[in-house]
Amino acid sequence: MTLAGVRAELVAVVLTADGDRLGVLAAGSPLHLPSGPLRTDHHSLQAGVRAFAQEQTGHRLGFVEQLYTFADLDRQAAGERMVSISYLGLTRAALDDGWQNVYRLLPWEDRRTDASSADAVLARLRRWARSGVRRERVAHLFGVDGEVWRPELALQRYELLWEAGLVGESPSAADVSELSGAAMALDHRRILATGLSRVRSKLQYRPVVFELLPETFTLGRLQQVVETLAGQGVHKQNFRRAVEQQHALVEPTGEMTHATGGRPARLYRFRGDVLTEREQAGTKLPIPRSR
Amino acid sequence: MTLAGVRAELVAVVLTADGDRLGVLAAGSPLHLPSGPLRTDHHSLQAGVRAFAQEQTGHRLGFVEQLYTFADLDRQAAGERMVSISYLGLTRAALDDGWQNVYRLLPWEDRRTDASSADAVLARLRRWARSGVRRERVAHLFGVDGEVWRPELALQRYELLWEAGLVGESPSAADVSELSGAAMALDHRRILATGLSRVRSKLQYRPVVFELLPETFTLGRLQQVVETLAGQGVHKQNFRRAVEQQHALVEPTGEMTHATGGRPARLYRFRGDVLTEREQAGTKLPIPRSR
DNA sequence: TAGCAAATGCTCACAGTGAGTATTTCCGGC
DNA sequence: GCCGGAAATACTCACTGTGAGCATTTGCTA
């Protein structure tokens, strides 16, 4: 039995939504997500993430949540095993040169437009997936052949593309640089996909986007942020209905803004008790209403 | 900047359902979840969990999934920081003395009966939660005052009880041994609650319980396992309807069993493609059907 | 043979949700 | 000052999913 020498590091997927663009903090070539060693002066992992993110990037993280811990052997360096604990962080910032556009790093995840880049990936995928099982998987993950597109499956889509050799870092990758955009270090694109999946999942049961919006906002702004994260347009009228019905989520401030280009819009703010992180969605089990 | 010396260990929440009892592997006094150091001969973390679980307990794990990584300072020993990577594992076994009954360690999580133990906890909680915010939290998590009980909030309920000093390991705990059952080491009860939350969450979008059932089974058996995990009874007819509608989940084998005590029941098996882990549920966003 | 137990079959009402139409109210340009 | 565009806001409608309950089947056991 061989005990491993271990080094531990934190890796952060820091996202921000600026208009219709989704940004992630990453720098260098190949691109690295911000990361740093685990230190003893961090009270907790979360505190560690907040601290080094602020030090390295100058951005204060609002929402922080653990994603996944990686420690596969291929991350091992010189006899010491590397344990990477990845975190998702949301912050509010304008996209400058510290930020990368997520939808250039995972182009197939943006379905807001007519998705020409997605089509390119899909065409290559179809060639790879001739057999039944692969084909079903493609259909399920990419929402074709009668299946629906699910934004939150970003990680599984990445994994499928990796298997198919359609992202730059695949072992079997050939000429795919135009499909997956800029090179990313190690498995950082996978970690990014994990973060995107997570934030989209959270979006489903509660618009956990208040970290990405100013104090007050219009429903149109809120919808835009949601669409930016989901990578997909939503039905405007129904979106407002859903948000407004979700009592205890937002409330009108009473003020209006005229800066929308059309009819003036009511301003809203998130209600305080939303901040106490109400977790999780309704069950799908047929549970009796009574009792 | 102080770099931490780090030790890494794996901790497993291994669950099994035996009839109406939910079992978790734990031994010793106080009870320890099975755990072991991270070793270099493990290809991956998952492989490591499978290996040491099999070595320590003799049980082969079916489903395995990472839960959470803990590394708070209070887990630190002698200058070396301990990073605990916890995993959920499901297996099929009969409850013998290696197993503990989950609903004795988290008694308030069992709502299948008239829940006298849950009432005891709730009474203490109400005394603790007089103020508005606390009261709302209690209502939300414990499904009182018009709110519904959500099985998958097990972790948040544990955390609330911990804050309220109503579990044995709370810093502010008084005479609560009768509420939370046997003592558990470190934060192992929290990790157990995390595992329970996770398995219940997964249950919502897909009955990921085939690891807990034999090759073939009746819908009644399936329902019993689901109820055991969820800690809650479900509506029988609607449960069958849900399962049967969920095409591609189960299929009848064509055989019947007479061992049910009533009318003979059709036997079912899980369909093969379920095993390829179709992730995640339908979105709650009002996304247009067309396109 | 009666009665029980569990499985199975079927109906119904209602809430939630996707979708579409219509109306209001500002701005900018002419 | 008037007109068209843009966005916000308001309402309606059909359909489906889901909670609930009633009814029937079919074995076993007393």
Three-class HEC string of A123-143:
HHHHHHCCCHHHHHHHHHHHC
> Does B285 contact A232 at a Cβ distance shorter than 8 Å?
yes
Most B CBs within 10 A among A85, A114, A240, A285, hence the mutation to make, goes to A285
Residue A30: asked if its preceding bond is cis (omega within 30°), the reply is: yes
- Residue to mutate among B2, B38, B40, B229, with most A CBs inside 10 A, is B40
A31: which strand partners?
Answer: A184
Strand C bases with any atom < 7 A from protein Cβ: 4-11, 17-21, 24-27
Which one of B42, B83, B283 has the shortest CB-CB distance to A83?
A: B83
pLDDT band, very low/low/confident/very high, at A174 (cuts 50, 70, 90): low
Residue-level pLDDT at B46 = 86
Question: Which of A14-23, A53-62, A274-283: highest mean pLDDT?
Answer: A14-23
Whether A16 contacts A85, CB under 8 Å: no
> What pLDDT does B95 receive?
85
Confidence grade of residue A175 (pLDDT, cut at 50, 70, 90): low
Q: Which residue has the higher pLDDT, A22 or B180?
A: A22
Percentage of chain A beyond pLDDT 90 is 27
- Tokens 């679980």 sit on residue: B53
Residue B285 has pLDDT above 50, yes or no: no
Chain B residues lying within 8 Å of A286, measured CB to CB = 234-235, 238-239, 241-242
**Residue B114 above 70 pLDDT?**
no
Phi–psi pair at A6, nearest 5 degrees:
-130, 135
Position A199 confidence tier, pLDDT thresholds 50, 70, 90 = very high
Partner-chain contact A68 B66, CB within 8 Å: yes
CA distance B248 to chain A (A): 12
Q: What is the pLDDT of residue A291?
A: 33
Cβ atoms of A268 and A252 closer than 8 Å: yes
Q: Is the pLDDT of residue B11 over 90?
A: yes
| pLDDT tens profile A229-247 | 999 888 999 999 888 887 6
Residue labelled with tokens 């949301």: A90
Residue B187 pLDDT exceeds 90:
no
Contact yes or no for A71 and B85 at CB 8 A? yes
Residues in reach of strand D, judged by a CB distance below 7 angstroms, are A 218-221, 236-237, 240-241, 260-266, 284, 286-290; B 235, 237-238, 241-242, 258, 261-264
Tell me how far apart the alpha carbons of residues B238 and A288 are, in angstroms, rounded to a whole number: 10
Query: CB burial class (10 A; 0-12, 13-18, 19+) of residue B285?
Result: buried
Predicted confidence at residue A73, as pLDDT, reads 58
Q: Which residue of B has its CA nearest to A246?
A: B284
Measured distance CA(A15)–CA(A65) in Å, rounded: 12
Cβ–Cβ below 8 Å for A280 and B152 = yes
Q: Is the pLDDT of residue B44 over 90?
A: no
Q: What pLDDT does A246 receive?
A: 75
Instruction: Find the helix packing angle between B132-142 and B116-128, rounded to 10°.
Output: 160
Q: What is the DSSP secondary-structure string of B265-287?
A: EEEEEE-GGGGGT-------S--
Query: Is the pLDDT at A1 greater than 60, yes or no?
Result: no
- Three-state SS at B18: strand
**Which are the contacts of A199, defined by CB distance < 8 A and separation ≥ 6?**
A15, A88, A90, A208, A229
How high is the mean pLDDT of chain A? 82
pTM of this prediction? 0.88
Give the E-state strand segments of A142-279 in sequence order: 216-217, 250-257, 265-270
> What DSSP state is assigned to residue B147?
P
Residues B6, A140: C-beta atoms closer than 8 Å: no
Bigger pLDDT: A209 vs A14: A14
pLDDT for residue A202 is more than 50: yes
Average pLDDT, chain B: 82
Domains of chain A by start residue, with CATH: 2-101 (3.90.79.10), 102-201 (no CATH), 206-277 (1.10.10.10)
- Of A149-158, A271-280, B50-59, the poorest mean pLDDT is in A271-280
Q: Hey, is B78 helix, strand or coil?
A: coil
Which residues make Cβ contacts (< 8 Å) with residue A78, sequence separation at least 6? none
